[in-house]
Each structure stands twice: as C-alpha cells, then as structure tokens.
Amino acid sequence: MRYAVIGTGGIGGYYGGKLARSDRDVHFLLHTDYDYVRCNGLQVDSCDGSFHLDNVNAYTSTADMPAVDVVIVGLKTTNNHLLPSLLRPLLDKADDGRKPVVLLIQNGIGVEADVQRMLPDARLMAGLAFICSAKRGPGHIDHQCYGHINLGNYSVGSDDDAKVVADDMQAAGITARMVDYEEARWRKAVWNMPFNGMTVALGAQTDQLLKHPATRALIRRQMLEVIHAANACGVTAITEEFADQMIRNTDEMTPYSPSMKLDYDFHRPMEIEYLYSRPLAMAREAGAPMVSLEMLEAELRFLQEKYLFV
C-alpha cells in the first residue's frame, strides 16, 4: 500500500510517520518546512517511543506525487476549500483507474458530506483520532499521549478496502478499528465539543477544567447534551456512561491544549463550523438542542471575530 499525507502536522506527521517507520511507502506534502525536512528528516517525539525518519519522501505539490492507494488528510477543516486542487491530481493518476481511499482525519460533523459534494468521485473514509499530538517546529511532531483511531466507511464501497487501512495501521503500532461512520463522528464530538471550546473560552488546559468542581460538572453536562443529540439523530449506541469514561480518560491525560485552543492562541481561524454549527443545527432539527453548547458557540464566534477582524 502506498500512502500520501496531506497536512504533515501533529496528526498527519504522527500517523504518516508511524506508517513510514513500519516500512510502508509514504509520501508527505509539506509547505513551510519542506526544505528543512528534505535536509533533516522528520522527528516524532512520542510517549510510546520517539523516532526519526532520515529520508522522507517530501513534496510541495500533490501533482509531483506518485499514484497512491490511500490519501491521509490531516489538514484543519478551515482549509478544506483547498481539497479540490490538492486531491484532484491524486484522484486522477490512480495506476489501475481505481480511485485511492481518502482518509479524512479531521474534527467535526458534516465534513465528508461537504467534501463529497466538492469531489463526487472521491472514496471517503472518516478518521476519528483520540490523540494528543501537535507540531512543535519544522519537522518536529510532539505526541504526548493516546493515539488510537476509529475508522468509519463513508463512501469507500467495500468494507474490505477500508479494513486494509486499519490493518496497515495496526501493523504500524497504531490501535485502529473499523466502526460505524455516524457513531464514530458523534463519539468524537462528545469530547471535542466541550473541551475544544471551553479551553478557549476560559483560557485553560484540560486538567484545569476538570480540577474545578463547577467546570467539571459543566463539561459533563455538555457531554450529555452531545450524547442526547446523537441519540435523537439515530445513534443509539452511545450511552451516558461514555461521558464518564471520557472524563476519566481526560483525568489521566497530561495537561493538554486542544487544537482549537492552539488556533486561538496563534490567531488562526477556529474550526467552529464543523465542531459546533453543523452538529448544533442537526440537534435542533432532531428536537434535542444543545443549549449550553449553543452558548459556547456564540462565545467562540465573538472571540474569533475579535482577533480576526478588529
């Protein structure tokens, strides 16, 4: 299996790096640190064992990449308008005419539907990563904890084709499993919707939010809102116990600033649309509005406009 990685940051750099380390044929699209990685390789500092890739297949354009079987997209959804131009060369150069699987390791709900509208012939799979990982500098990935990933088949076709990706990841030391697509997206939202926005709104890391009784209770209430919304939308396999499990898991994590907090700190656009607006609209339509998370979305939009447009 040959892989392309679009977005060599905390997500693409980690998962692509693990695959390359296990002797998979991996090709990385790079931007600002292309020259650095070409000369110095890719360093992954990991709680599970650090490693360095000396010779990285690095590119500045997907048009220069070879035909691949799987494209891993690790871009933020705020950059998804770039996907038609980035993915089209890879979709059109398949060796046997069979389009590669496009694995979108991205946050939020509604992502695949929009990408499918932009690229009707793409074979899409969702990647829901439970991981604390960030890019710390040129060619430098810092993986702090966790790392397992759930994979949901959106439009790949045969589940066998999707399972090959999971098997490759497992062989590379990544805990990966196939799950129901809708369930996977909502399960990730149970953690993402409270913690991403609350770390921004209160200027705190995950551990601080859980150490204070008031914010710990609020986080749990927000998680239950997401679970009730998922149930109302037909995803019945997620129960209230999952909220307590997520809180216990976060208690065990190192203090962490989620991706939205980092975007806010560096005055970058935040992923409000897919992390909040889309699932909130779906919940209202299903008769299960997420009231406290609607308030959080309004706060996030205010904060973003304050630093982006003032």
Residues catalogued as catalytic: 188
Which residue, among 233, 255, 252, 194, has the nearest Cα to 110 in the 3D structure?
A: 233
Which residue type does 115 have? Answer: V
3-class secondary-structure state, position 140: strand
C-alpha distance from residue 91 to each of 76, 118, 190 (Å): 20, 13, 33
What stretch of H or E contains 46? strand 42-46
Cα 168 from Cα 6, distance rounded (Å)? 18
Q: Running DSSP on this structure, what letter comes out for residue 66?
A: P
Query: Max alpha carbon distance in the chain (Å)?
Result: 58
| Two structure tokens written together for 116 | 């499918």
Assess contact for 44 and 50: CB atoms under 8 A: yes
3-class secondary-structure state, position 7: coil
